[in-house]
Amino acid sequence: MPQSPIILPIIITGLTLGSILTSQTKAISKKKLAVVSLVSGLMNSAYAFALYTLSPPPTFSRAGFTGTFTGTGTGFAGAQFRGQTGSETGFIISSFIIGFIFVIAICGIALAYARFRGKGEHEEDEVEDEKALSEDLGKLEDT
């Protein structure tokens, strides 16, 4: 099975994070994130379908084989053969899953980092504000 494409989820994730960073609220709703992830998964599976249609993976023929195949294909070699040839449906489904999860994972990590990083900055700002306020009160009491 060919490798699942990830170029569209990367582009969609970049657009999503760019829109979050340029917005005033710096937040995204769960519904919007789910819709963006769903669109990413659908676009990635459509792209995978186009890739599979335009350049299908090579198939293996048994033209030179003259004996009877008696193996069941349940061993390691059979699983490896099935994994290499794969099916179009499996490729499209895996591409959808990758496209869907990619956006959720990257946006989730970015938002968690921003939230974690933002708390530290707010605490520092609060401490500086308290110091400035106490200095201002001290100056008012002196007068």
Task: Tell me the pLDDT tens digit for each residue of 35-91.
Answer: 999 999 999 999 999 988 888 776 655 555 555 555 555 544 444 444 455 688 888
Report CA dihedral (98, 101, 104, 109) to the nearest 10 degrees. -90
pLDDT at 24: 76
pLDDT at 125: 57
Mean pLDDT, to the nearest integer, of 111-128?
Answer: 68
User: What single-letter amino acid sits at 102?
Assistant: F
Mean pLDDT, to the nearest integer, of 99-112?
Answer: 90
pLDDT at 77: 46
Q: How confident is the model at residue 110 (pLDDT cuts 50, 70, 90)?
A: confident
- The model carries a pTM of 0.62
| End-to-end Cα separation, the chain, in angstroms | 80
CB 104 within 8 A of CB 38: no
- The answer, yes or no, to whether residue 13 has pLDDT greater than 50, is yes
Show the tokens assigned to 110.
Answer: 């970015």
pLDDT at 46: 93
Q: How confident is the model at residue 21 (pLDDT cuts 50, 70, 90)?
A: confident
